[in-house]
């Protein structure tokens, strides 16, 4: 008679291995989930409008005057005093003037801000890709735990029922039934914990991607890049921070030009009459206003701008070091977990063979139930680790692609 324990083990194998055996079938891939996350991310949804704002700022830098025009007017009369007929009306317009080379440098600063804003979109996409990859594999790992726990729960129930029948028939002692019942209770607890963990990571998955966890029917492993070397100049994070350096430098250069406030040029038309009998006289007035700057205030602004530029440069140096270290660690992890996966598969196969031998011995009455349960537990744990190693290896492949700056939809 086939023992329910054998059914337990092979049920675990079939349930856990099925998704990976059909991974090539139609399923929702990481790339498709990532596309949904792009539509669900508030920062990326708003980034398009931010780019339009930067474009408007660049257009504003092309204006002829340093600021908006001002309309000025005045009226003078002696009506409330001796009332000799004095009347004077002045109407004019004034415009702030650019400092020397200020307009061109302002345009450079606005252009650098626009380019950095566009680069920041790529950096945000890569950051979101990292979140999607993490919740994707975390959810699949939790899903796998639930499937394993469910298979173990069903098998422990069958075992408990079988032991109950054999105790009633006098083939086994009541202590065996207590052990089988304890095993079933343990399986129930493990199943409950697995469901709780899946519920938590499932909520996070839905929050990031906007999709229910039910779309994860078949896992989809990302392809291993053919070239695992890091092209740091093409990495979105490097490009974004490099653009930030250009922004800070252009701002500092602009501040260096702005030693004082912008001068103003005014043009006014004056219409005046000295007395009732005097004729109206018209005149044209050309005026200018030149502010005097403060050296201390100018030095403060310039030093602050240069400090921001220096900070961005140091951050880029640190970022490059971090990116290289992450890429190196990710490559090593892929190599180690590939070996770990092969070792786990071998261990699981050996554990199945050992369990099969003890199963035959138990059927012949040569092995007691506690011994059989111990080897069943070892076989089950080895099988669980083998399936978990598959998920872990796939996670490390995704982590390598993330470290290299590759998005899910990109091909290596």
Would you list the domain boundaries of the chain? 4-64+115-263+305-403
**What phi and psi values does residue 284 have, to the nearest 5 degrees?**
-110, 130
pTM over 0.85: no
* CATH architecture of the domain formed by 4-64+115-263+305-403: Up-down Bundle (1.20)
Q: What is the pLDDT of residue 238?
A: 95
Rounded Cα gap, residues 98 and 100, in angstroms: 6
Whether 383 and 344 have beta carbons less than 8 Å apart is answered as no
Rounded Cα gap, residues 112 and 114, in angstroms: 5
5-14: average pLDDT: 39
Q: What is the pLDDT of residue 213?
A: 84
The answer to whether residue 19 scores a pLDDT higher than 50 is no
Tens-place pLDDT, residues 269-328: 988 877 777 788 888 889 888 888 778 888 898 999 999 999 999 999 999 999 999 999
Whether 296 and 208 have beta carbons less than 8 Å apart is answered as no
Express as a percent the part of the chain with pLDDT over 70: 92
Q: What is the pLDDT of residue 319?
A: 94
Tens-place pLDDT, residues 150-185: 888 887 888 788 778 878 887 778 887 888 888 889
Q: What is the pLDDT of residue 8?
A: 39
Mean residue pLDDT of the chain comes to 84
Six token digits for residue 247: 């922004």
Six token digits for residue 166: 């054999």
Beta bridge partners of 270: 90, 283
374-385: average pLDDT: 82
Helix (H) or strand (E) holding 370: helix 369-403
pLDDT band with cut points at 50, 70 and 90 for residue 27: low
Whether 147 and 194 have beta carbons less than 8 Å apart is answered as no
């Amino acid at each position: 008679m086939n023992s329910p324990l054998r059914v337990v083990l092979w049920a675990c194998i079939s349930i856990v291995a099925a998704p990976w055996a059909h991974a090539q079938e139609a399923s929702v891939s990481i790339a498709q989930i990532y596309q949904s996350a792009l539509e669900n991310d508030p920062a990326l949804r708003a980034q398009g409008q931010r780019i339009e704002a930067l474009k408007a700022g660049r257009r504003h830098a092309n204006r002829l005057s340093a600021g908006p025009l001002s309309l000025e007017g005045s009226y003078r009369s002696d009506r409330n005093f001796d009332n000799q007929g004095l009347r004077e009306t002045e109407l004019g317009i004034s415009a702030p003037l650019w400092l020397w080379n200020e307009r061109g440098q302002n345009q450079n600063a606005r252009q650098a801000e626009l380019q950095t804003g566009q680069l920041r979109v790529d950096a945000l996409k890569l950051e979101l890709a990292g979140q999607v990859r993490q919740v994707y594999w975390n959810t699949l790992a939790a899903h796998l735990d639930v499937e394993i726990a469910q298979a173990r729960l069903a098998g422990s129930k069958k075992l408990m029922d079988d032991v109950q029948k054999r105790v009633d028939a006098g083939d086994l002692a009541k202590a065996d039934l207590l052990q089988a019942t304890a095993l079933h209770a343990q399986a129930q607890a493990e199943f409950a914990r697995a469901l709780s963990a899946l519920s938590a990571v499932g909520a996070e998955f839905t929050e990031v991607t906007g999709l229910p966890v039910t779309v994860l029917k078949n896992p989809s492993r990302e392809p291993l890049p053919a070239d695992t070397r890091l092209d740091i100049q093409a990495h979105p994070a490097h490009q974004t921070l490099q653009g930030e350096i250009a922004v800070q430098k252009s701002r500092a250069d602009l501040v260096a030009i702005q030693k004082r406030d912008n001068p103003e040029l005014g043009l006014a038309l004056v219409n005046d009459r000295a007395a009732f009998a005097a004729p109206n006289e018209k005149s044209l007035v050309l005026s200018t206003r030149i502010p005097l700057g403060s050296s201390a205030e100018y030095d403060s602004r310039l030093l602050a701008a240069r400090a921001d530029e220096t900070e961005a440069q140091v951050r880029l140096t640190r970022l490059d070091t971090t990116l290289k270290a992450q890429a190196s660690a990710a490559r090593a992890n892929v190599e180690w977990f590939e070996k770990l996966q092969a070792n786990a598969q071998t261990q699981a196969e050996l554990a199945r063979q050992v369990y099969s031998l003890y199963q035959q011995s138990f059927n012949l009455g040569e092995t007691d139930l506690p011994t059989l349960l111990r080897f069943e537990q070892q076989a089950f744990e080895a099988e669980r680790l083998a399936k978990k190693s598959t998920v872990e290896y796939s996670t490390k492949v995704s982590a390598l692609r993330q470290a290299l700056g590759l998005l899910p939809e990109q091909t290596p």
